[in-house]
């Protein structure tokens, strides 16, 4: 079986080893870092640059995963390869979207049947991209699956380095919660979908525990044995426009479908288990426990 990944980045780096263990061949595109793609076990393809090779991979692929974000001109994969994709015959096609498509719900719950009501430009771009992929899938009979990812964290994307160097801030906006997902669990969800395809289905990919960001940071500091950073009111915090925009949406995201339809059992159902595993993988351990013991705890 052959998998082609458009945008072989952080998340694909966790999926590719699982596919390779099951005998898959994986190829992935990158703009500038073929060494990183190869280190994950995939054959790198430069894009832009190797379009002819990429068209051959599209034609031969049993599965295609699209991880590239939409740009000002829409989805870049559709813009460059719509005709090739329409002629392809993969058994599975996955598009990585975001829970940002639901917009702000004032802390209420959303599921996959909730209206897509994003107000910000990135959320609206994702809604358009989802619609464009659905249109192509309908026209060409492609087995499209949409995965709406919550905030991604994992090894190298945790709060520990900022806490250690003193740059972390606990920004407090009363009532604000975010949903999250560990990158390893994203890979598990994608693998489960490959094994149980249901074309036309969208899945929310998040853990069980939407939580205030300041609570997550305080817990990470506690794991390191450090005092929590001082709280800063959202109104007073200095942030980039992009960082501030994340706080515009306040919602809790249901993950019932990935459990009931795909049979997924999350390795990290909450940020506490996920942060402990990250710290263990970095060679540390919470509250002085041996790293091996922390690693084993996630399987209990």
Angle ∠(187,191,196) on CA atoms, nearest 5: 145
- Asked if 6 contacts 62 with a C-beta cutoff of 8 angstroms, the reply is no
pLDDT (0 to 100) of residue 297: 27
CA 244/CA 207 separation, integer angstroms: 23
pLDDT (0 to 100) of residue 284: 63
49 contact partners, CB below 8 Å, separation of at least 6: none
pLDDT (0 to 100) of residue 219: 98
pLDDT (0 to 100) of residue 295: 30
pTM assigned to the model: 0.93
8 contact partners, CB below 8 Å, separation of at least 6: 16, 28, 29, 30, 37, 40, 42, 44, 67
pLDDT (0 to 100) of residue 158: 85
At 231, list the tokens: 């709280």
Angle ∠(254,203,217) on CA atoms, nearest 5: 50
Residues of the chain with pLDDT below 70 are 284-300
Q: What are 102-134's pLDDT values in tens digits?
A: 999 999 999 999 999 999 999 999 999 999 999
């Amino acid at each position: 079986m052959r998998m082609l990944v458009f945008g072989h980045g952080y998340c694909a780096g966790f999926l590719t080893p699982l596919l390779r263990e099951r005998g898959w061949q994986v190829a992935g595109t990158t703009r500038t870092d073929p060494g990183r793609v190869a280190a994950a076990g995939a054959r790198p393809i430069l894009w832009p640059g190797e379009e002819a090779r990429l068209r051959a991979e599209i034609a031969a692929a049993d599965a295609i995963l699209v991880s590239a974000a939409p740009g000002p001109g829409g989805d870049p994969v559709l813009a460059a390869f719509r005709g090739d994709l329409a002629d392809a015959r993969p058994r599975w096609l996955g598009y990585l979207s975001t829970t940002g498509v639901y917009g702000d719900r004032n802390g209420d719950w959303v599921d996959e049947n909730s209206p897509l009501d994003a107000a910000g430009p990135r959320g609206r771009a994702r809604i358009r991209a989802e619609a464009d992929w659905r249109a192509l899938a309908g026209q060409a009979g492609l087995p499209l699956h949409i995965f709406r990812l919550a905030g991604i964290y994992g090894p190298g994307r945790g709060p520990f380095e900022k806490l250690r160097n003193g740059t972390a801030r606990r920004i407090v906006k009363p009532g604000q919660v975010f949903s999250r997902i560990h990158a390893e669990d994203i890979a598990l969800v994608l693998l489960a979908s490959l094994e149980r395809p249901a074309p036309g289905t969208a899945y929310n990919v998040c853990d069980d525990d939407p939580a205030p960001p300041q609570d997550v940071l305080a817990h990470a500091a506690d794991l390191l044995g450090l005092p929590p950073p001082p709280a800063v009111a959202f109104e007073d915090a200095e942030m980039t426009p992009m960082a501030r925009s994340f706080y515009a949406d306040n919602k809790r995201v249901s993950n019932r479908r990935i459990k009931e339809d795909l049979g997924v059992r999350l390795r990290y159902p909450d940020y506490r288990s996920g942060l402990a595993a990250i710290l263990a993988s970095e060679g540390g351990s919470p509250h002085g426990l041996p790293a091996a013991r922390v690693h084993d705890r996630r399987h209990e």
